[in-house]
Structure 1
């Protein structure tokens, strides 16, 4: 426990020799040091997890993640340790607040940076589902864009096919009606357009001839449509439209596993809203409170240092600093005196030498 206490004192940036003389203040700095240590630990986990997705698919992804996580955690730990230790408790309250303001802003920024990768890990399952929806939507949008570009490129050809199909449909309806009239003419049913004479007479023969011509033209029309549609299919194949398919379940899982940090971060943001753009209250507040928790955790050492009263350790530390400053001042004066003495000796020697030269002359 003594080694652990000394370690957390070191983490808090306290002067251990001075703090050891005041056991009553030790627990406070143990708490501050432990908070700083665990903040650095969370930063290491967060940074390593984020970088793991940057090198996702690379054989050395785990090694890079561990290395970067350690460096990032040490950097945040060192920064937090400096932030807390640099607050002077011997200054006035307003002075302390001014000292702490930029440090609190920096702590808020660090808290946000640390929280984001950990939020992504907490909502991993929901993010995977959201990524599946996002990738399918992107695929549909890509296919729609290609189809729209193709339609714009071959507007004339597609318009002609539409006209031919309309003509075909109209001709098929006409032939169907003419067949009914031929049937009525043959059986002798009297209508406005039939003679009412039973048998295959001249009127029936004329209708049969007209019907055969229409059917021949319909066959020609259908053949033309098939040729034009075959041409359009060839152009689609050439332009790559036939190769575009919606992702299957296995392909979606593979794409989600390869998703990088940016896609997962965007998916986490999308979880806050429904598909119609309205706020998803449950996810929105869950994500927000997790981020606020890490921000508060990051700012906690600074707040503890600010809220704590000026204690015996702070007074002793101030006195020790004053003694060190005084001692360094005396040492500096002694050094200057020695330098001045050496200078005087050299000047005196120079003068004596000059006098001897004059006497000789």
Structure 2
């Protein structure tokens, strides 16, 4: 139990040597440390699941999950331990604001993969619908590439067939007229095979000849157009069978599916929002605990401990700065004195030399 307590106190980022002097604050930092630890655990689960969704590798997802969880744990521990309970609430809030923003960002990153896991069954059902929509879109695009050419071919076949049908209809009408004239059911109404019948029969034979000529001219074109249409259909079927039918369910598709579910169902939308808010609350709980808690004995001891080092550093820096200033002043004043003395000595030397020259020039009658 003592080892577990020490571990959670370590997780809180508290100075154990200072905390040992104020046992009354242990429970506070035990709670903070446990929250930070379990946030790291949730980050491990979140990252592991996200990577497993991408790569389907247990070993890789565990390795990455441990690394990500350790990083989040270290960041949370640093964020909480770097906060100091000094000054008023608004002053502490402004100091804590960047840390809160970082905590919220981490919570959003951690919560999303876990949301996907929580709503996994609903997402899997939606993924089936999305998969069918995707395949349908692919098939529609493929069909659109061939539809125009197939329509042109079918239109050409219909035009040629209509011409043949017209000739066939004319032949049938002429033959029926000749037959009606022969049996007396039409035409002149007299049953015989006289000149009128022969004229109508000649017209029927002429219509048959025209039909035969039309068939001879157009049927090869119809057969060629039908062969082209069959070729296009075969190509379309071959490309349709080669469409991508791989697994559909990557992390981006799952996020999209969850978003669609939220748009279709308010219950899922609110549930997803509350899951996110829950992780935001967990991630920011240690920071708010430090923010709203009044300064405790631990905080006063920590401030005193840091203040000693701060003052010692300032004293050392000021002492060194003063020593440097004094040495610079000594060097400056000595330099000025030395220069003044050198100038005076040089002047005396020059004056002595001038006096000597005057003395040397007086015997020659020169006087200065």
Q: Quick one: distance in 2 between partners of 1:196 and 1:24? A: 132
- Matching of residue 304 in structure 1 with residue 289 in structure 2: yes
* Change in CA separation of 1:75 and 1:180 when aligned onto 2, cut-off 3 Å: farther
Q: Quick one: distance in 1 between partners of 2:85 and 2:200? A: 115
Deviations 1:117-156 (A, max 9, x none): 1111122222222222222222222222233233456775
Structure 2 equivalent of residue 141 of structure 1:
137
Structure 2 equivalent of residue 356 of structure 1:
none
Deviations 1:96-133 (A, max 9, x none): 11111111111111111111111111222222222222
Q: How far off is 1:234 after superposition? A: 2.5
Q: How far off is 1:79 after superposition? A: 0.9
Q: Is the helix fraction higher in 1 or 2?
A: 2
Q: Quick one: distance in 2 between partners of 1:164 and 1:294? A: 72
Q: Quick one: distance in 1 between partners of 2:136 and 2:124? A: 19
Structure 2 equivalent of residue 11 of structure 1:
11
Q: Quick one: distance in 1 between partners of 2:192 and 2:267? A: 81
**After the TM superposition, which residues 149-164 of structure 1 pair with which residues of structure 2 at under 5 Å, given as runs?**
149-152=145-148, 157=153, 159-164=155-160
Deviations 1:311-356 (A, max 9, x none): 222112111222233345566688899999xxxxxxxxxxxxxxxx
* Change in CA separation of 1:196 and 1:76 when aligned onto 2, cut-off 3 Å: farther
**Long gaps (5+) in structure 2:** 326-368
Structure 1 equivalent of residue 71 of structure 2:
75
Of 96, 103, 120, the residue aligned with 2:99 is 103
* Change in CA separation of 1:162 and 1:168 when aligned onto 2, cut-off 3 Å: same
Query: Is contact 1:185–1:194 with CA below 8 Å preserved after alignment?
Result: no
TM-score of the two chains, using structure 2 as the length reference: 0.73
TM-score of the two chains, using structure 1 as the length reference: 0.74
Structure 1 equivalent of residue 306 of structure 2:
321
User: In structure 2, the residue corresponding to 1:89 is in which secondary structure?
Assistant: coil
Query: Is contact 2:48–2:64 with CA below 8 Å preserved after alignment?
Result: yes
Q: How far off is 1:271 after superposition? A: 2.0
Question: Larger Rg: 1 or 2?
Answer: 2
Of 247, 250, 259, the residue aligned with 1:255 is 247
- How large is the Cα RMSD of the aligned pairs? 4.3
Q: How far off is 1:10 after superposition? A: 1.1
Structure 2 equivalent of residue 265 of structure 1:
255
Deviates more, 1:198-207 or 1:294-303: 198-207
Q: Quick one: distance in 2 between partners of 1:194 and 1:222? A: 37
Q: Quick one: distance in 1 between partners of 2:256 and 2:78? A: 33
- Matching of residue 37 in structure 1 with residue 37 in structure 2: yes
Q: How far off is 1:195 after superposition? A: 5.1
- Matching of residue 232 in structure 1 with residue 229 in structure 2: yes
**After the TM superposition, which residues 198-209 of structure 1 pair with which residues of structure 2 at under 5 Å, given as runs?**
202=198, 205=201, 209=205
Query: Is contact 1:178–1:211 with CA below 8 Å preserved after alignment?
Result: no
* Change in CA separation of 1:327 and 1:223 when aligned onto 2, cut-off 3 Å: same
Q: How far off is 1:31 after superposition? A: 1.2
Deviates more, 1:260-269 or 1:210-219: 210-219
Q: How far off is 1:291 after superposition? A: 1.7
